[in-house]
Structure 1
Amino acid sequence: MREVAVLGATGSIGASALDVIARHPSELRASVLAAGRDVPGLVELCRKHRPDHAVIADEGALEALRSGLSEARLDTRAHAGAGAIEALASSDACDTVVAAIVGAAGLPSTLAAARSGKRLLLANKESLVLAGELFMAAAREGGATVVPIDSEHNAIFQCLPDAAARSGLRRIILTASGGPFRGRSRESLADVTVEQAVAHPKWSMGRKISVDSATLMNKGLEVIEAHHLFGVDGGRIDVLVHPQSLVHSLVEFVDGSTLAQLGLPDMRTSLAVGFGWPERIESGVSGLDLLAEGGRLEFEPPDLETFPCLRLAFEALAAGGTAPAVLNAANEVAVDAFLERRIGFLSIPRLVEETLSALPPVSAVSLAALHEADAEARALSGQAIARHQTT
């Protein structure tokens, strides 16, 4: 029986993870559920899944969580704060961790799980963008099994399951749906609304990730993530826009062979791979019928002029050091400001580029150095928002 901690349980990935877990009651059990601020949502999940522990990141919500669990007559123990999430992720309360807390806030608990040798289903890409070298070193030293849950990296993982399979690898090709604004000119995006940006044409995701998909920053972060996960330099990572979102990624070898993983755009497939690997388990996702899906697979190059965030991510990877941490922090600040309707859509890449230009990269020798770069980038980009303020 796998005892699973679902960090980010009330989000879209958390919901998909719990759906897969519920399909395998004799093999999988949700022992820890963690959420950010949604106490009612967390209590409702506890009613259904009966975990041993429930954690709310907002420390001020501890009494509300205790009260909700008590009213539901549950024995689930209540905890609060980021430190509690980190402690439970590394404790005997679980042997498997679904790391789905969005943004840099998910780094401490993800690192703790890696250091503790857990099976880590990694959906928090910021852990790798912010501290990729440190994270991978922690996973190796702790003996953790890292299974990426992003559909693209999970596809590569399935094609390259071990070091032997990576022999002769020439390049990795990540696919991108192109987001809701594929094919549009940069000028036409000036008046994009929040509602339009979060309406992804293929995937059901949280608001922040949906905006990242619309700007192609999500793909840029995935390029950096792939570099760390598979030890491939940025010059051997390409991106192709694939609007059907059926081919999740491809790997090319020196002999001319190319392997790809295909499937319907549903995160439960990746999660089932993570829970069951090297075995295959039911995910609740039906098989792929290419004729029913239109019988056509299309590919095109990304438009880096209209969507400069992808270019900025490649540049940050090439610069190295703290540059990816600065990129990630500035993007989080900019996306939050856009979602709060304080800046326009096109101001997101402008803010990121300004912040990268203002903070030249330094060596990322420690987590403290990365946190400092993260804090500086957030402060600088936060101050710059006033120049991009919408009226």
Structure 2
Amino acid sequence: MKALSVLGSTGSIGTQTLEIVEEFPERFRVVALTAGRNLALLCKQVQRHQPEVVALADPALLSELRERLQALNLPRCPELVAGNEGLCQAAAWSSADLVVTGIVGCAGLLPTLAAIEAGKDLALANKETLIAAGPVVLPALERSGSRLLPADSEHSAIFQCLQGTPWADTARLSTGVPTPGLRRIQLTASGGAFRDWAAADLAKATVADATSHPNWSMGRKITVDSASLMNKGLEVIEAHYLYGVDYDHIEIVIHPQSIIHSMVELADSSVLAQLGWPDMKLPILYCLSWPERLETPWRRLDLTELGQLTFRAPDPAKYPCMDLAYSAGRAGGTMPAVLNAANEQAVALFLEERIHFLDIPKLIEAACDRHRNDLKAQPSLDDVLAMDQWARRFVRDTSSVPLAA
């Protein structure tokens, strides 16, 4: 039985992970949970899974959580911790075999690093771990011997395809060393909420429009990232760090059906793809069960039911965030951290209806341009965290100034 620490248990990745645990109680158990502010759901999870430790991001909520759990008359109350220190303690919990990193944004960076330093294997669903801090994380993985298994659908697809090659070796994953025989990665994208919009029509896009994903049910932030294609741009940077492929050989392809989750081209021109219905539980399960595959009662893919699979190149005029991500990735060092933080802050302002959708790439580009002279090629963790905070302040301050058309 594999013991899990689930970071971000009340979010989308966390709740689906716990559903899998409930489907396979003989294979997985939960020893640690971390959450933000959803105490009602967290208490239900604690009651159901009986973890050894529970961590809250906000220390101010700890006493309320304690009272709620005491009212449940649990047979055993978990240890309760809070704040960044508490999150890191849960991530490095001694009895955990695998840490599922479902905390969204740069908030998940410190606990993920704590898990790596403790030698834990990771199911990585937090893109920012590698995007913002790849130059810090890769050496940490090499030192600790932790194995990093990608839990998002696109990188799981690549990982699964590589299992079918003679060069499959997870020891190489996330070392920045090129994967032998891997020539090209094609990341498929749904195209998001605006895939069938003309670029000129984005001037009238609302928050409701941007948060209505055609294929997936996700959180608001990631749904906006899908609409801008920044989610795919961030995945390009992540793929570079995971598989050691240069940016000229990582491509984005719009695939509206979201059935092919990504493809790899090998040295001999063969292309391998991983297919499945749009469901995040499959890549999460593969992380939890790897190197095994578990029998599931889930709906089976029927290509005759689909009829056709279609593909097209993304329109740079409609998705300017895509080129911004490639540019930041090629610049390297602290630039991806600035890109990521600027995007997080700009999306937050958009969701608060303080800026327009088209202001998101403008603010990100302004932050990256301002940072260019201060870029650190070999940053420390403190450098990454400092640039993250700087980029957020820059976007907040700049958003109050009218942006150029």
Q: 2:222 touches 2:231 (CA, 8 Å); kept in 1? A: yes
What percent of counterpart residues are identical? 47
State the distance in 2 between where 1:287 and 1:194 align. 34
Q: How does 1:14-53 map to 2 (within 5 A)?
A: 14-53=14-53
Per-residue CA distance 1:154-184 (angstroms, 9 max, x = gap): 0001112488244321111100000010032
- Tell me how far 1:213 sits from its aligned partner: 0.5
Partner of 2:99: 97
Q: Give the structure 2 partner of residue 320 of structure 1.
A: 332
Amino acid at match of 1:35: A
Tell me what 1:57 maps to: 57
Separation (CA, whole Å) in 1 of partners of 2:295 and 2:62:
36
Contact 2:33 2:90 in 1 (8 A): no
| Structure 1 unaligned spans of 5+ | none
Q: Does 2:190 align with 1:177?
A: yes
Alpha-carbon separation, structure 2, partners of 1:52 and 1:170: 45
Bigger CA drift: 32-41 or 160-169?
160-169
Mapped pair 1:298 → 2:310: yes
SS of the residue corresponding to residue 180 of structure 1 reads helix
Give yes or no for the alignment of 1:276 onto 2:282.
no
* 1:226 Cα deviation from its structure 2 partner: 0.4
C-alpha offsets along residues 84-137 of structure 1, whole Å, 9 cap, x if unaligned?
110121121412110010000000011111222212000000111101122122
Amino acid at match of 1:15: T
CA distance in 2, matches of 1:199, 1:372: 34
Alignment of 1:230 onto 2:243: yes
Deviation of 1:283 after TM superposition, in Å, equals 5.0
Shift of 1:296: 0.6
Asked if 1:310 corresponds to 2:311, the answer is no
Q: CA–CA distance in 2 between the matches of 1:388 and 1:245?
A: 37
TM-score (norm 1): 0.96
**Does residue 285 in structure 1 map to residue 295 in structure 2?**
no
Contact 1:69 1:76 in 2 (8 A): no
Show the 5 A alignment for 1:220-259.
220-259=233-272
Q: 2:51 & 2:296 partners in 1: Cα distance?
A: 21
Q: Distance in 2 between matches of 1:8 and 1:284?
A: 26
The residue type equivalent to 1:229 in the other structure is L
Runs of 4+ in structure 1 off by over 6 angstroms are: none
Over 3 Å counting, the alpha-carbon distance change for 1:284 and 1:72 in structure 2 is farther
State the 1:186 CA deviation: 2.5
Does residue 210 of the first structure (1) align with residue 223 of the second (2)? Answer: yes
The alpha-carbon deviation at position 346 of structure 1 amounts to 0.7
Q: Secondary structure at the match of 1:259?
A: strand
Partner residue, 1:344:
356
Q: Determine helix, strand or coil for the equivalent of 1:341.
A: coil
Cα deviation code 1:61-98 (max 9, x no counterpart): 00011011111112222221121110121121412110
Q: 1:262 aligns with which of 265, 275, 286?
A: 275
Of the candidates 361, 375, 378, which is equivalent to residue 389 of structure 2? 375
- TM-score normalised by the chain length of structure 2: 0.93
Aligned to 1:6: 6
Counterpart contact for 1:269–1:283, Cα < 8 Å: no
Aligned 8 A contact 1:42 1:54 in 2: no
What's 1:139 paired with? 141
C-alpha offsets along residues 203-257 of structure 1, whole Å, 9 cap, x if unaligned? Answer: 1111111110110000000000000011111111011000000000000012110
CA RMSD of aligned residues (A): 1.4
SS in 1 for 2:149: strand
Distance in 2 between the 1:182 and 1:301 partners?
A: 11
User: What CA distance in whole angstroms lies between the structure 2 residues aligned with 1:325 and 1:281?
Assistant: 37
**Higher deviation after alignment, 304-313 or 71-80:** 71-80
Residue 266 of structure 1: SS of its match in structure 2?
coil
In structure 1, what is the equivalent of residue 174 of structure 2? Answer: none
- Whether the 8 Å contact between 1:20 and 1:283 is mirrored in structure 2 is no
Matched residue SS, 2:133: helix
Aligned to 1:365: 379
Quote the Cα distance in structure 2 between the aligned partners of 1:27 and 1:299: 38
Aligned length: 388
Pairing 1:68–2:68 present = yes
Q: Gapped runs of 5+ residues in structure 2?
A: 169-178
